[in-house]
Chain A
Amino acid sequence: MMLLAKAALGVSGALVAAGAYTFHEGIIRVDVDEFRAGGSHVHLWVPAAMVPMTMHFVPKHHLCDAANHAREFLPVAHALFKELKNFPDAEFVEVKDGEQHVQIRTHGGKLQIDVDEPDEKVHLLVPLSTVDDVVGQLEDSAPGA
């Protein structure tokens, strides 16, 4: 019985450690709802730590290609997301155009983008540190980096 308890504790400990690591950066949340016939409804919750980890498995030439395309914007994105973490929660952009409503804001270390239209709703929540990690990895993958 003691052996079983020790094994359970070991397994649980490992699971807790894995869970803590997986969720330490928070989650990426994507909600897309299209209110029309055949419209898609996507609701995705992904541990943020998975993204930079998964990028290590992307073939180098694909990353290099992506980095090459975004080369001009990567330094700006890197500076922006690195600095955004140091600022309090704020609404950076809000656009109301008829029945369309777009908001870009930061909240609790996350970038939140909400798009509300009569026939479509898109909500995105991404930890700033994850975006910064991804941009950093793309910068490292750029040709000549």
Chain B
Amino acid sequence: MSSFHRVFTTKAVLMTAAALLFSPARGLAQTSNAQAKAAPSTSSASEKGERWLHVRVICTDGKGDTVRVNVPLELAEKVLPAVNHDRLHNGKVRIDSSDINDVDLHALMEAIRSAKDGEYVTVQGNDNDVRVAKEGNQLMIHVVEKGGSKKSQVEVKVPMKVVEALLSAGKDELDLVAALHALGAQGDVELVTVKDSENTVKVWLDSKNVAD
């Protein structure tokens, strides 16, 4: 090999080695920059058809205090069975019959399920108005608190399929995982709305991975 070629080869090898040596650092810097600039995207969630449960609490005292929680239902379904605490085991909550005054939840559920749409309970009192109804395969609970300084309005909307799934475990258990699974099969739905003089709470389900 001539002297020229030898020097050229040596330089080429050294340059290649130097380039290789610095490439991880450059890649790292690019990663960091990209991380700083990028923001969560909403498209990927809806493309995969993931269902997200959102909770939003807005304090209406003028300071703009807010809490936003966004949880993919599938994640909750997979993590919940790992929680073993107090009455919650394997995604199921054990209920004491004394907690529900010996009411047979399954019999009650079966009665509601087979009944036609309509208003089941209407209580109009000085302090509260309560309304429980079944409308288009959804169980609706509407409570208006009129007395006291904190006037509030609570609306709960639960799909019947979810209630059925919740009670599918057994007599003294509520199957939360089954309920979440059933909830995932529902369309976009506003589950809970609470409005009072201090806070607005909203719990809803949709396919977006960000809250409104």
Contact = CB atoms under 8 A, between A and B. Distances in A.
Interface of A: 1-2, 4-6, 8-9, 11-13, 15-16, 19-20, 23, 26-27, 29, 72, 75-76, 78-80, 83-84, 87-98, 105, 107-108, 110, 125
Nearest to B17: A12
Interface string B11-42: 00110111011011101100110110010110
B24 A19 contact: yes
Given A1-B7, A8-B13, A108-B35, A83 B75 contact: yes
Interface string B110-127: 000000000000000000
Contact of B35 (A13, A97, A107): A107
26 contacts: A2-B6, A9-B17, A11-B17, A15-B21, A16-B21, A23-B24, A75-B84, A76-B83, A80-B79, A83-B75, A83-B78, A87-B72, A87-B74, A87-B75, A87-B209, A88-B209, A89-B40, A89-B41, A89-B209, A90-B40, A91-B68, A91-B210, A105-B40, A108-B38, A110-B35, A125-B35
Contacts of A11: 17
B154 interface: no
- Of B6, B45, B64, B209, chain A has the most CB atoms within 10 Å of the CB of B209
Contacts of B71: 92
A134 B121 CA distance: 53
A96 B69 CA distance: 12
B70 A91 contact: yes
B9 interface: yes
Contacts of A105: 40
Contacts, number: 124
Given A84-B75, A90-B52, 9 more contacts: A8-B17, A27-B28, A87-B75, A89-B38, A90-B40, A92-B69, A92-B70, A105-B40, A107-B35
Contacts of A84: 75
Contact of B41 (A78, A79, A88): A88
Interface of B: 6-7, 9-10, 13-14, 16-18, 20-21, 23-25, 27-28, 31-32, 34-35, 38, 40-41, 44-45, 48, 50, 52, 63-72, 74-75, 78-79, 81-85, 209-211
Contacts of B27: 23
Contact of A76 (B24, B52, B82): B82
